[in-house]
Structure 1
Amino acid sequence: MLVVMLIAVFSCKQTKSIPTQKPKLDFASMLPEKFNKANIIEEEDYNVWGTNIIKGKDGKYHAIYSRWPKTRGHLGWVTHSEVAHAVSDKLTGPYEFKRLVLPPRGLNYWDGSTTHNPHILEYEGKYYLYYMGNRGSGYWDNTPDTVMPKYKDEEWWVNRNNQRIGVAVADDLNGEWKRFDKPLVDIDSTKRLVSTPVVSIRPDGKFLMVYKYVKEKEGMHGGRVVHVTALSDSPMGPFIDTGIPFIETETARFALDDHVEWFQDGRYYCIGKDHDGSLTEYEKGTMVLYISDEEGMDWTLAQQPLVLKAGKLFWTDGTETLCERTADMPKLYFEDGKLKALVIAVLPKDSDDSFSLVIPLND
């Protein structure tokens, strides 16, 4: 059974229990020097983002990803995103759109306007799809498809500040996904919103969720962005906060962002984005590697931390792409327990049109 084991990172304490005799992982050496444009996952009329790939019981490769109309611009992710499903006979594609998995379902639901940032986990023959959902006021339903939401729009913040975390369940990737009337993780008096869940199975059998929240503070923006860990005995929850923060710094307002985690060789690893350049000396937006103990609680920067520098992507056809976002929402593809591919989301510079890229890994 394929289990994509992922988590996140946010705390830079040295962990004594990490086995020092294990070889140090140099993830950057597993990446090719140049990437193949044939491995891009995109849609003509939609932005593509945050793509999970998992091999189904039918032997095909299934991509579960966020998408929203290109006419709504990049910031339309918070107002118009929906979770979609595409299929391919090959890991690297091409992928053909099949259907919507989590479409808009109306303002009566907590996730009725937007679904985004899916994270899929297979466990005991079932599939668990964790995601962010939100509900706006209905304002955007009455605007033309050519209207691009902006930060200056108060209604953009209505959707942004209503983000919650949910889970949908299916017996088969081609079957129906069951959604629920209440979120899996809700806000409290300290949290303006909760979002971007990543769930993995620990060696002790517990389910570890890492998610982010925005601290409650007067005004539309709220306060700092904080990542935390939560545990459950079931993939369906309840997830109880551990009180242990994820990777962060004391002074940064928004240190680590998009991340993915997995367990191998007696420890956890995490690839995450140095969002504002406060975690490393690399340029902000660079993807870096963290390591932890087998419980995923104590995290420190890896000995070889660089995964993928922010700024440019270099292609096998000799061209280059200057990027606004070089490698967001990283996801990993495993087969037979081995790492086979890294999947990233890309937003080129001076563009509102995004895509995902499958990067097969060197052995």
Structure 2
Amino acid sequence: MQAKSWQRTAFQLFNYLFLITISILCVLPLVHILAISFSSSAAVSAGEVAFWPVDMTLKSYSFILDNPKFLTSVGITLQRVVFGTIINLVLVVLTAYPLSIEEVVLGRRERHYFDGMNQHNPHIRYWNGTYYLYYMGTTYGGPVPGSGDHVSSERGTEVWNNKRIGLATSPSIAGPWTRMEQPLLEPRRGRWDCTATTNPSVAILADGTTYMIYKSREYASSTLQLGVAVADHPAGPFRRLSDDPILQFSNPDLHVEDPYLWHDGQQFHLLIKDDFKNDSSGLTGEWGAGVYATSADCLHWTICPEPKAYSRTVVWNDGSVKEMCNLERPFLLIEDGVPTHLFAATGTGEKAWHFDHTWNMVIPLAPPEPAVRD
């Protein structure tokens, strides 16, 4: 977190002044009407009343209270308020119940746990009557930073290096969820993945064999790389398929991250983010675009000849075109074996990682082209 810039402080000051001005403009007409109600008719007709009564009088209120229709009007108003409130509350409860939170699945716990202070990047799968929620968790010591507090790069690196892959399971998507107390995969000293294990993506085969692609790096600011591990059961234990990362590139500026893995019954498929450095143009020529690759064994991967699977430039329903700051952590909705929608974390702002608004985006995918017969 960074300290507030003078531009943000100036914007907040302008915002406060603007809102105060609008509020005053909304209140002044009400004050004027109230002043008129306590003023004499002569003063009102002469235009002498502004925001304070002139020739104070209560004749207007006496006239209203002496009118027998006044109490009838009050009764109708009270009926509408009481019955309207009851009806609105019933409708709100009935419609809000399906959207209510069942439980907080992943929250903070004691710091000695590997995921005690943060949980992120959820990746959920279902197999044999159980939901498996894979995620990244981390912990750290010292004071908890507040909003706007500066966090040093040294402390940021410490927290990054503490990231581990966790798992929570449940017989129902609504819970209750049970979290494991130990990470699924630990870093290895002296290896390419000696700093952290994070950003898991999992494919569970029909027999329960589970493949997991994860992210790590050798040291701070070094090339982000991906490894693959396998287990006989979705809950592990996991073992690495290779001591080396997959998708090794000779160019150190070629970074990939945010894997999304799936298996269609015949081969493995992979979406990854093209996170190249130093304007190297990467694999797709567009920073932050999606790269598509396939594999028969989840270890040896072939990048598609036209590797760009998606772009940060998005076409909206109204025909407008917008380049998003980021398009992170892709996830697919697969129906009857066919990917139909792409989900991604995104945001708008002046440039990458400088957001004024963030959310999860859903992009419908074009249906696959029919096979051409000879």
Q: TM-score, normalised by structure 2?
A: 0.63
Identify the structure with the greater helix proportion. 2
1:298-319 CA distances to partner (integer Å, 9 max, x unpaired)? 1111144222223x32322344
Which residue type is aligned with residue 291 of structure 1? T
C-alpha RMSD of matched pairs (Å): 2.4
Provide the residue aligned with 2:233 in structure 1: 234
SS of aligned partner of 2:303 = strand
Q: Does 1:193 align with 2:196?
A: yes
Change (3 A) 1:341 1:263: same
Provide the residue aligned with 1:246 in structure 2: 246
Change (3 A) 1:309 1:126: same
Which residue type is aligned with residue 210 of structure 2? F
Q: Does structure 2 retain, via aligned residues, the 8 Å contact 1:255–1:278?
A: no
Q: Does structure 1 retain, via aligned residues, the 8 Å contact 2:213–2:259?
A: no
- Matches of 1:126 and 1:97, distance apart in 2: 22
Structure-to-structure mapping, 1:109-124, within 5 angstroms: 109-124=113-128
Change (3 A) 1:167 1:156: same
Q: Does 1:104 align with 2:108?
A: yes
Q: Does structure 2 retain, via aligned residues, the 8 Å contact 1:344–1:358?
A: yes
1:69-107 CA distances to partner (integer Å, 9 max, x unpaired)? xx9xxxxxxxxxxxxxxxxxxxxxxx9562421011131
Change (3 A) 1:357 1:204: same
SS of aligned partner of 1:353 = strand
Q: Does 1:212 align with 2:212?
A: no
Q: Does 1:356 align with 2:360?
A: yes
Deviation at 1:157, TM superposition (A): 2.4
- Matches of 2:117 and 2:183, distance apart in 1: 14
SS of aligned partner of 2:291 = strand
- Matches of 1:362 and 1:281, distance apart in 2: 20
Deviation at 1:116, TM superposition (A): 0.7
1:129-175 CA distances to partner (integer Å, 9 max, x unpaired)? 111100011422xx43x22555x443222211210111111110111
Q: More deviation in 344-353 or 109-118?
A: 344-353
Change (3 A) 1:196 1:254: farther
- Matches of 2:253 and 2:178, distance apart in 1: 36
Q: TM-score, normalised by structure 1?
A: 0.65
Q: More deviation in 160-169 or 274-283?
A: 274-283
Change (3 A) 1:153 1:213: closer
SS of aligned partner of 1:156 = helix
Q: Does 1:289 align with 2:292?
A: yes
- Matches of 2:221 and 2:287, distance apart in 1: 22
Provide the residue aligned with 1:335 in structure 2: 335
Deviation at 1:279, TM superposition (A): 4.5
Change (3 A) 1:126 1:282: same
1:43-78 CA distances to partner (integer Å, 9 max, x unpaired)? xxxxxxxxxxxxxxxxxxxxxxxxxxxx9xxxxxxx
Change (3 A) 1:241 1:352: farther
Change (3 A) 1:273 1:222: closer
Q: Whose relative contact order is higher, 1 or 2, with alpha carbons under 8 Å and at least 6 apart?
A: 1
Change (3 A) 1:278 1:206: farther
Deviation at 1:361, TM superposition (A): 2.5
Q: Does structure 1 retain, via aligned residues, the 8 Å contact 2:284–2:291?
A: no
Q: Does 1:264 align with 2:264?
A: yes
User: 5+ unaligned residues in a row in structure 1: which ranges?
Assistant: 1-70, 72-94
Provide the residue aligned with 2:66 in structure 1: none
Change (3 A) 1:261 1:323: same
- Matches of 2:323 and 2:266, distance apart in 1: 38
- Matches of 1:301 and 1:250, distance apart in 2: 15
Q: Does structure 2 retain, via aligned residues, the 8 Å contact 1:107–1:138?
A: no
Q: Does structure 1 retain, via aligned residues, the 8 Å contact 2:213–2:228?
A: yes
Identity %: 29
- Matches of 2:222 and 2:291, distance apart in 1: 25
Change (3 A) 1:281 1:209: closer
- Matches of 2:253 and 2:179, distance apart in 1: 33
1:177-224 CA distances to partner (integer Å, 9 max, x unpaired)? 111221111122131111111111246752111111121x4xxx2643
Which residue type is aligned with residue 122 of structure 1? Y
User: 5+ unaligned residues in a row in structure 2: which ranges?
Assistant: 5-97, 368-374
Deviation at 1:352, TM superposition (A): 4.8
Provide the residue aligned with 1:147 in structure 2: 148
The number of equivalent residue pairs is 259
Deviation at 1:118, TM superposition (A): 1.0
